[in-house]
Amino acid sequence: MSKKLAAGNWKMNGLAASLAEIDALAGAVKGAGCEVLICPPAILIAQMAAKAKGSNVFVGGQDCHPKVSGAHTGDVAAAMLADAGASHVILGHSERRADHGESDADIRAKAEAAGAAGLVRIICVGETEGERDAGQTLAVIGTQLDGSVPDAATAADTVIAYEPVWAIGTGQVASPEQAQEVCAALRTVIAQTLGEDAAARTRVLYGGSVKAANIASFMREPDVDGALVGGASLVVDEFAAIIRYQKHVGV
Ligand code: PGA
């Protein structure tokens, strides 16, 4: 069983002054039983990585372009993230799927580029409220997973994040049972393509309105291997409490 992962997604939030959060988190992170990752806006990665050096905090990007380089104004290549000090990259977040029309095939191409650059990719999947109400949750996330995870993925280079769209930034958190059901289903799909052993070792995160007050209920579920945290990762005390919880239970 791999260590749990507490990943913070700052989205389009944070200025250079926000990097002080790394110092404030250092105590919480010391000796933590989980891995800790923060994904700030790309422009802060280099500074954050320099600050996080030696602190057990990993730094990641929030997206990358599928190509290595070229005429793609405004985009960032995976190798550029790695060069700036990133070790991970979030791909296929529902906000990117919605705002930028990213398809599963786009996400797979980005995931391949991320892997080639040596980044661990965190591939996000999740259903909308309408899809859940229509009983399509497992079909939707199965299709997303099949379409977006590269065939050569391994437990070491790929993390899956289950993020129901209706729970992101809404305060309308999934129940632990809902998270467990979908994370277990994702692991079953992973087992079909990558094998049982890789599936058991692949980290499957839950994300969507995770906070210090509800982290415990998710981490008790056997197929939830950590959390992808948006809003609460911007509040030092909240994120520190999420990390500390995972330390206390010794997972
Ligand atoms: P939230 O976002 O924690 O603010 O709901 C989660 C995410 O989008 O990764």
Report pLDDT digits (tens) over 66-103. Answer: 999 999 999 999 999 999 999 999 999 999 999 999 99
Distance 71 CA to ligand 1 centre (A): 31
φ, ψ of residue 120 in degrees (nearest 5): -80, 125
Give the residue whose CA is nearest to atom 6 of ligand 1.
230
Q: How many Cα atoms are found within 13 Å in the side-chain-facing hemisphere of 174?
A: 29
Query: Would you say residue 27 has pLDDT above 80?
Result: no
Mutate to test the pocket of ligand 1, among 97, 209, 233, 242 (most ligand atoms within 8 A of CB): 209
Q: Is 104 in contact with 125 (CB distance < 8 Å)?
A: no
Q: How many Cα atoms are found within 13 Å in the side-chain-facing hemisphere of 124?
A: 27
The model carries a pTM of 0.96
Helix (H) / strand (E) element for 35: namely strand 35-39
H-assigned helices in 53-175: 78-84, 94-99, 104-116, 129-133, 137-148
What's the one-letter identity of residue 198? Answer: A
Report pLDDT digits (tens) over 166-210. Answer: 999 898 999 999 999 999 999 999 999 889 999 999 999 999 999
What atom in ligand 1 is closest to the CA of residue 167? 5
What atom in ligand 1 is closest to the CA of residue 228? 9
